[in-house]
Structure 1
Amino acid sequence: FYVLTVMTTVGYGTFVPVTQGGRVATILFGFWSIFVSSFCIGAFVAYLDAYMDQLLSTMWEGCSPRVAIKCKALCTGLLFVLHGSGLAIFAALLPHNRWDAIDALYYSFVTLSTVGLGDLSVSSNSV
């Protein structure tokens, strides 16, 4: 059950690692299993990808290449800003929660990968 919740990034929080070794194992297994399950789901996504390619090519057909490039660059930049701000928040909250580096890395992984087991949370008085 725990393996499937990590592998599929569902993360119910029913079972959580309580030791440093368990958290490291969750990170390592999570990276590997999320990659493998993503690869398996890729067969289904291939169909959706073809559909989206057709839809986007129709959408960009009426735009000039210059406008299309600006829109794509803006979207890419926003992704970097969102991810960067998330990492900055995690780094800023690290000393306030008295977490060690493994706890912070584990919290970042389960949050950013959307596993979200719920065993660690930011304390309300540290924000």
Structure 2
Amino acid sequence: MGMKEIFSLARVPSILMLGVIYIIYVLIGGVIFWKLEGDLREKDISLLLSNKKNLLMRYTCLNQDGLEAVAQVVQDASKAGLSLKGNNTTDGFWKFTSSAVFAATVVTTIGYGNISPSSTAGQIFCVFFALFGIPLNMVVLNRVGKYMLVIERNISDFLEGKTGRRKCTRFFVHLVSYLSGTVLFFIVPMIVFQLHEGWTYSQAIYYCFITLSTIGFGDFVADSDPDKVYPEWYSILMASWIFFGLAWLALLINHSIDILERLNTHFKLWWSGQKMEEESGNAEIDNPDTQMEDEDEIKRPSATQ
């Protein structure tokens, strides 16, 4: 008995199959992250404990309570976006441009977590702002994505009329669209972030994907270093990049979903076709009436003889 017969007898619902595949995929990812990051995290913890011991030995007047107090000050300053280097004062995170970027991360559900409202009024407003802003953001992004798709199809139809080759033209237009979006929303921002944030290229490309996919871990956040002076256009450029990048990535994900659905439909048609052929073949073999009719056709003389 082959795999097809086993699945056919089991009659496993497709949703259950997808659920099992999903769970297995997540567990495999967990194992890989555990192996890649677990050992490194243990080394980081050991190094931190060693640094803490050396710090207490170097500054004998600093006990455990004093160290915790200093750590609390550093944590609060980092959360407020203030620099502890020198005596200069800054505006912190809650200046207008940073607040606008924060509002964009709320409605896009990125949620870096590096800043958050601390006042009761700010927290309540954030709830209602997100409640109406998230659906609005989805509608706008969907509309922008459709306009991008219309432009792509118009270009494809124009080139198709010139060349007369539909499949090659559509493939070429899709390929150019993907490559252009990759350059515009990943490669160029990667270079900008590397220059203005001091990140490596791998860190910058990682930040680009984590942001545009709305995962938003918050381990890397642009325009948030209190020790750096950013140009005025930087926040505006970031907000524009996030908005149009989300629309482009949503379009790309929709294309990927469409491809997977077509493959699924093709696989189902192939599976059902194979099954119907097997059933029809078995019916012809097992049906004695069919065998008798075939034998009669062989033995019956032809009318033209």
What TM-score does the superposition give when structure 2 sets the normalisation length? 0.19
* Higher helix content, 1 or 2: 2
Larger RCO (alpha carbons 8 Å, 6+ apart): 1
